[in-house]
Structure 1
Protein backbone atom coordinates (compact mmCIF):
# COMPACT_ATOMS: atom_id res chain seq x y z
CA UNK A 1 0.00 0.00 0.00
CA UNK A 2 1.47 3.21 -1.10
CA UNK A 3 1.16 6.60 0.53
CA UNK A 4 -1.11 7.91 -2.22
CA UNK A 5 -3.55 5.04 -1.64
CA UNK A 6 -3.47 5.67 2.08
CA UNK A 7 -4.14 9.42 1.60
CA UNK A 8 -6.95 8.64 -0.86
CA UNK A 9 -8.52 6.20 1.61
CA UNK A 10 -8.19 8.71 4.43
CA UNK A 11 -9.78 11.44 2.27
CA UNK A 12 -12.62 9.09 1.37
CA UNK A 13 -13.17 8.24 5.05
CA UNK A 14 -13.15 11.93 6.05
CA UNK A 15 -15.60 12.82 3.27
CA UNK A 16 -17.86 9.94 4.35
CA UNK A 17 -17.86 11.25 7.94
CA UNK A 18 -18.60 14.78 6.66
CA UNK A 19 -21.49 13.44 4.57
CA UNK A 20 -22.98 11.58 7.58
CA UNK A 21 -22.60 14.63 9.83
CA UNK A 22 -24.23 16.86 7.17
CA UNK A 23 -27.21 14.49 6.90
CA UNK A 24 -27.59 14.49 10.70
CA UNK A 25 -27.39 18.31 10.81
CA UNK A 26 -29.97 18.60 8.00
CA UNK A 27 -32.39 16.32 9.89
CA UNK A 28 -31.92 18.35 13.04
CA UNK A 29 -32.44 21.60 11.11
CA UNK A 30 -35.58 20.17 9.53
CA UNK A 31 -37.04 19.31 12.96
CA UNK A 32 -36.14 22.77 14.21
CA UNK A 33 -37.81 24.37 11.18
CA UNK A 34 -40.95 22.30 11.78
CA UNK A 35 -41.04 23.49 15.39
CA UNK A 36 -40.56 27.10 14.30
CA UNK A 37 -43.42 26.78 11.81
CA UNK A 38 -45.66 25.34 14.54
CA UNK A 39 -44.67 28.13 16.93
CA UNK A 40 -45.45 30.80 14.34
CA UNK A 41 -48.82 29.15 13.64
CA UNK A 42 -49.64 29.21 17.37
CA UNK A 43 -48.56 32.86 17.64
CA UNK A 44 -50.75 33.82 14.68
CA UNK A 45 -53.72 31.93 16.17
CA UNK A 46 -53.17 33.65 19.53
CA UNK A 47 -53.00 37.07 17.89
CA UNK A 48 -56.20 36.38 15.93
CA UNK A 49 -58.01 35.22 19.08
CA UNK A 50 -56.83 38.31 20.96
CA UNK A 51 -57.99 40.58 18.13
CA UNK A 52 -61.39 38.86 18.14
CA UNK A 53 -61.64 39.10 21.95
CA UNK A 54 -60.90 42.84 21.79
CA UNK A 55 -64.02 43.24 19.62
CA UNK A 56 -66.30 41.30 21.97
CA UNK A 57 -68.57 42.68 24.67
CA UNK A 58 -69.57 40.52 27.64
CA UNK A 59 -72.93 41.62 28.99
CA UNK A 60 -74.31 39.96 32.10
CA UNK A 61 -76.62 40.70 35.03
CA UNK A 62 -76.75 40.14 38.77
CA UNK A 63 -79.51 40.53 41.33
CA UNK A 64 -78.33 42.54 44.37
CA UNK A 65 -80.03 43.18 47.65
CA UNK A 66 -79.80 46.91 48.43
CA UNK A 67 -81.35 46.93 51.89
CA UNK A 68 -83.84 44.88 53.90
CA UNK A 69 -86.59 44.95 51.29
CA UNK A 70 -85.06 46.54 48.15
CA UNK A 71 -83.50 44.62 45.29
CA UNK A 72 -81.81 45.83 42.10
CA UNK A 73 -80.98 43.98 38.92
CA UNK A 74 -77.64 45.26 37.67
CA UNK A 75 -76.85 44.79 33.96
CA UNK A 76 -73.17 45.33 33.15
CA UNK A 77 -70.53 44.95 30.44
CA UNK A 78 -67.23 43.32 31.42
CA UNK A 79 -65.89 42.84 27.89
CA UNK A 80 -63.29 45.11 26.31
CA UNK A 81 -65.63 46.30 23.53
CA UNK A 82 -68.78 48.41 23.88
CA UNK A 83 -72.13 46.63 23.66
CA UNK A 84 -74.63 48.24 21.30
CA UNK A 85 -78.42 47.94 21.10
CA UNK A 86 -78.76 46.05 24.40
CA UNK A 87 -82.11 44.32 24.84
CA UNK A 88 -83.61 42.46 27.78
CA UNK A 89 -85.81 39.51 26.93
CA UNK A 90 -88.07 38.74 29.87
CA UNK A 91 -89.77 35.37 30.16
CA UNK A 92 -93.54 35.43 30.53
CA UNK A 93 -93.44 34.01 34.04
CA UNK A 94 -90.83 36.56 35.16
CA UNK A 95 -92.03 37.99 38.46
CA UNK A 96 -88.90 39.89 39.51
CA UNK A 97 -88.60 42.51 36.76
CA UNK A 98 -91.71 44.28 35.60
CA UNK A 99 -91.84 44.90 31.89
CA UNK A 100 -92.77 48.57 32.20
CA UNK A 101 -89.71 49.11 34.42
CA UNK A 102 -87.45 47.42 31.87
CA UNK A 103 -89.02 49.18 28.90
CA UNK A 104 -88.05 52.57 30.32
CA UNK A 105 -84.33 51.73 30.12
CA UNK A 106 -84.16 49.07 27.43
CA UNK A 107 -83.28 48.81 24.62
CA UNK A 108 -80.12 50.78 25.45
CA UNK A 109 -78.09 52.21 22.63
CA UNK A 110 -74.64 51.64 24.18
CA UNK A 111 -72.99 50.10 27.24
CA UNK A 112 -69.24 50.75 27.49
CA UNK A 113 -66.71 48.47 29.22
CA UNK A 114 -67.23 48.65 32.98
CA UNK A 115 -70.50 50.56 32.63
CA UNK A 116 -73.70 49.28 34.20
CA UNK A 117 -77.38 50.08 34.55
CA UNK A 118 -79.71 49.14 37.39
CA UNK A 119 -83.36 48.15 37.32
CA UNK A 120 -85.67 47.97 40.27
CA UNK A 121 -86.44 44.35 41.11
CA UNK A 122 -89.60 43.31 42.91
CA UNK A 123 -88.91 40.31 45.11
CA UNK A 124 -91.87 39.04 47.12
CA UNK A 125 -93.03 35.88 48.83
CA UNK A 126 -94.41 34.37 45.59
CA UNK A 127 -91.26 35.12 43.58
CA UNK A 128 -89.62 32.13 42.00
CA UNK A 129 -86.26 31.39 43.66
CA UNK A 130 -84.71 30.97 40.18
CA UNK A 131 -85.60 32.78 36.99
CA UNK A 132 -84.00 33.07 33.58
CA UNK A 133 -83.18 36.32 31.86
CA UNK A 134 -81.83 36.74 28.35
CA UNK A 135 -79.77 39.73 27.31
CA UNK A 136 -79.12 40.38 23.64
CA UNK A 137 -76.69 42.89 22.16
CA UNK A 138 -74.57 43.75 19.16
CA UNK A 139 -70.85 44.43 19.26
CA UNK A 140 -68.00 44.81 16.74
CA UNK A 141 -67.61 41.00 16.64
CA UNK A 142 -71.18 40.32 15.56
CA UNK A 143 -74.90 40.95 15.81
CA UNK A 144 -77.52 39.36 18.07
CA UNK A 145 -75.12 37.99 20.64
CA UNK A 146 -76.94 36.56 23.64
CA UNK A 147 -76.32 35.65 27.25
CA UNK A 148 -78.87 33.59 29.15
CA UNK A 149 -78.54 34.21 32.89
CA UNK A 150 -80.06 32.36 35.79
CA UNK A 151 -81.12 34.86 38.45
CA UNK A 152 -81.38 33.42 41.95
CA UNK A 153 -82.85 35.07 45.00
Structure 2
Protein backbone atom coordinates (compact mmCIF):
# COMPACT_ATOMS: atom_id res chain seq x y z
CA UNK A 1 0.00 0.00 0.00
CA UNK A 2 1.50 3.22 -1.13
CA UNK A 3 1.82 6.06 1.33
CA UNK A 4 0.27 9.24 0.14
CA UNK A 5 0.86 12.60 1.68
CA UNK A 6 -1.85 15.11 1.19
CA UNK A 7 -2.13 18.78 2.24
CA UNK A 8 -3.68 17.90 5.60
CA UNK A 9 -0.66 15.75 6.52
CA UNK A 10 1.74 18.59 5.63
CA UNK A 11 -0.28 21.08 7.67
CA UNK A 12 -0.39 18.64 10.64
CA UNK A 13 3.41 18.14 10.41
CA UNK A 14 4.02 21.89 10.30
CA UNK A 15 1.65 22.36 13.25
CA UNK A 16 3.57 19.69 15.17
CA UNK A 17 6.91 21.40 14.47
CA UNK A 18 5.50 24.80 15.41
CA UNK A 19 4.11 23.33 18.64
CA UNK A 20 7.53 21.81 19.48
CA UNK A 21 9.24 25.18 18.84
CA UNK A 22 6.68 27.01 21.01
CA UNK A 23 7.19 24.48 23.81
CA UNK A 24 10.98 24.92 23.63
CA UNK A 25 10.61 28.73 23.73
CA UNK A 26 8.28 28.50 26.73
CA UNK A 27 10.69 26.28 28.66
CA UNK A 28 13.66 28.58 27.98
CA UNK A 29 11.56 31.65 28.91
CA UNK A 30 10.52 30.00 32.18
CA UNK A 31 14.19 29.31 33.01
CA UNK A 32 15.10 32.97 32.44
CA UNK A 33 12.04 34.07 34.42
CA UNK A 34 13.05 31.82 37.33
CA UNK A 35 16.59 33.28 37.27
CA UNK A 36 15.16 36.81 37.27
CA UNK A 37 12.88 36.04 40.23
CA UNK A 38 15.81 34.56 42.19
CA UNK A 39 17.98 37.63 41.56
CA UNK A 40 15.08 39.90 42.57
CA UNK A 41 14.70 37.95 45.82
CA UNK A 42 18.44 38.32 46.52
CA UNK A 43 18.27 42.05 45.77
CA UNK A 44 15.22 42.48 48.03
CA UNK A 45 17.05 40.64 50.84
CA UNK A 46 20.10 42.89 50.45
CA UNK A 47 17.95 46.02 50.38
CA UNK A 48 16.05 44.90 53.47
CA UNK A 49 19.33 44.28 55.33
CA UNK A 50 20.57 47.73 54.27
CA UNK A 51 17.35 49.39 55.45
CA UNK A 52 17.58 47.60 58.80
CA UNK A 53 21.22 48.65 59.15
CA UNK A 54 20.35 52.27 58.31
CA UNK A 55 17.50 52.23 60.83
CA UNK A 56 19.87 50.89 63.48
CA UNK A 57 22.49 53.55 62.65
CA UNK A 58 19.79 56.18 63.08
CA UNK A 59 19.39 55.01 66.67
CA UNK A 60 23.10 54.86 67.52
CA UNK A 61 25.36 57.46 69.06
CA UNK A 62 29.06 57.37 68.18
CA UNK A 63 31.33 58.95 70.76
CA UNK A 64 34.98 59.78 70.40
CA UNK A 65 37.75 61.63 72.18
CA UNK A 66 40.66 63.75 71.05
CA UNK A 67 43.12 66.16 72.57
CA UNK A 68 43.06 69.65 71.11
CA UNK A 69 45.58 72.40 71.59
CA UNK A 70 44.47 75.96 72.26
CA UNK A 71 47.23 78.52 71.92
CA UNK A 72 50.75 77.60 72.85
CA UNK A 73 50.25 75.81 76.16
CA UNK A 74 46.55 75.14 76.72
CA UNK A 75 45.11 71.68 76.04
CA UNK A 76 41.61 70.22 76.21
CA UNK A 77 40.29 66.67 76.08
CA UNK A 78 37.30 66.89 73.77
CA UNK A 79 34.53 64.27 73.97
CA UNK A 80 32.14 64.42 70.99
CA UNK A 81 29.16 62.60 69.50
CA UNK A 82 29.22 62.15 65.74
CA UNK A 83 26.42 59.58 65.71
CA UNK A 84 22.86 60.12 64.57
CA UNK A 85 21.27 59.73 68.00
CA UNK A 86 21.61 61.27 71.44
CA UNK A 87 23.94 59.54 73.89
CA UNK A 88 22.52 59.30 77.40
CA UNK A 89 24.22 58.69 80.74
CA UNK A 90 27.67 59.33 79.26
CA UNK A 91 30.55 58.25 81.46
CA UNK A 92 34.31 58.54 81.00
CA UNK A 93 36.93 56.21 82.46
CA UNK A 94 40.70 56.08 82.28
CA UNK A 95 41.76 52.39 82.30
CA UNK A 96 45.48 53.20 82.58
CA UNK A 97 45.01 56.01 85.07
CA UNK A 98 44.19 59.67 84.68
CA UNK A 99 47.25 61.88 84.57
CA UNK A 100 45.84 64.13 81.85
CA UNK A 101 42.54 65.67 82.97
CA UNK A 102 41.94 67.56 86.20
CA UNK A 103 39.85 65.26 88.39
CA UNK A 104 37.39 68.00 89.36
CA UNK A 105 36.61 68.48 85.65
CA UNK A 106 35.64 64.83 85.36
CA UNK A 107 33.52 64.76 88.52
CA UNK A 108 31.80 68.07 87.66
CA UNK A 109 30.83 67.12 84.10
CA UNK A 110 30.38 63.34 84.21
CA UNK A 111 28.20 61.38 84.10
CA UNK A 112 26.50 63.56 81.51
CA UNK A 113 22.76 63.17 81.22
CA UNK A 114 22.88 63.52 77.42
CA UNK A 115 25.22 64.36 74.59
CA UNK A 116 23.27 65.40 71.50
CA UNK A 117 24.21 64.69 67.90
CA UNK A 118 27.33 66.73 66.98
CA UNK A 119 27.57 68.11 70.52
CA UNK A 120 30.91 68.07 72.36
CA UNK A 121 32.24 68.70 75.83
CA UNK A 122 35.76 69.83 76.63
CA UNK A 123 37.74 68.98 79.75
CA UNK A 124 40.74 71.03 80.82
CA UNK A 125 43.91 68.98 80.38
CA UNK A 126 46.97 69.48 82.53
CA UNK A 127 49.89 68.81 80.18
CA UNK A 128 53.46 68.94 81.43
CA UNK A 129 56.82 67.50 80.40
CA UNK A 130 56.18 64.07 81.99
CA UNK A 131 52.71 63.66 80.46
CA UNK A 132 52.39 60.56 78.28
CA UNK A 133 51.83 61.25 74.60
CA UNK A 134 49.16 58.55 74.19
CA UNK A 135 46.24 58.01 76.57
CA UNK A 136 43.44 55.47 76.82
CA UNK A 137 39.91 56.75 77.39
CA UNK A 138 36.91 54.45 77.80
CA UNK A 139 33.60 56.04 76.91
CA UNK A 140 30.41 54.36 78.15
CA UNK A 141 26.91 55.46 77.18
CA UNK A 142 23.33 54.45 76.39
CA UNK A 143 21.40 55.22 73.22
CA UNK A 144 18.20 54.17 71.46
CA UNK A 145 19.90 51.11 69.94
CA UNK A 146 21.48 49.62 73.09
CA UNK A 147 21.41 50.15 76.81
CA UNK A 148 25.19 49.67 77.11
CA UNK A 149 27.79 50.93 74.64
CA UNK A 150 31.51 51.09 75.23
CA UNK A 151 34.32 52.46 73.11
CA UNK A 152 38.02 52.79 73.72
CA UNK A 153 39.60 55.91 72.31
CA UNK A 154 43.32 56.66 72.10
CA UNK A 155 43.84 60.44 72.01
CA UNK A 156 47.40 61.60 71.53
CA UNK A 157 49.25 64.84 72.20
Displacement, 1:97?
1.2
- Structure 2 unmatched runs, 5+: none
Displacement, 1:91?
2.9
- Which residue does 1:111 correspond to in 2? 115
**Richer in strand (by share):** 1
CA contact (8 A) 1:134 1:146 kept: yes
For residues 151 and 68 of structure 1, the distance between their equivalents in structure 2, rounded to whole angstroms, comes to 19
Pairwise CA RMSD: 1.0
Displacement, 1:100?
2.4
| 4+ long deviations beyond 6 Å | none
Most deviating of 70-79 and 86-95: 86-95
Displacement, 1:88?
0.3
How many residue pairs match? The answer is 153
- Which residue does 2:144 correspond to in 1? 140
- Which residue does 1:88 correspond to in 2? 92
- Which residue does 2:131 correspond to in 1? 127
Partner SS for 2:91: strand
Q: Normalized against structure 1, the TM-score is what?
A: 0.97
- Structure 1 unmatched runs, 5+: none
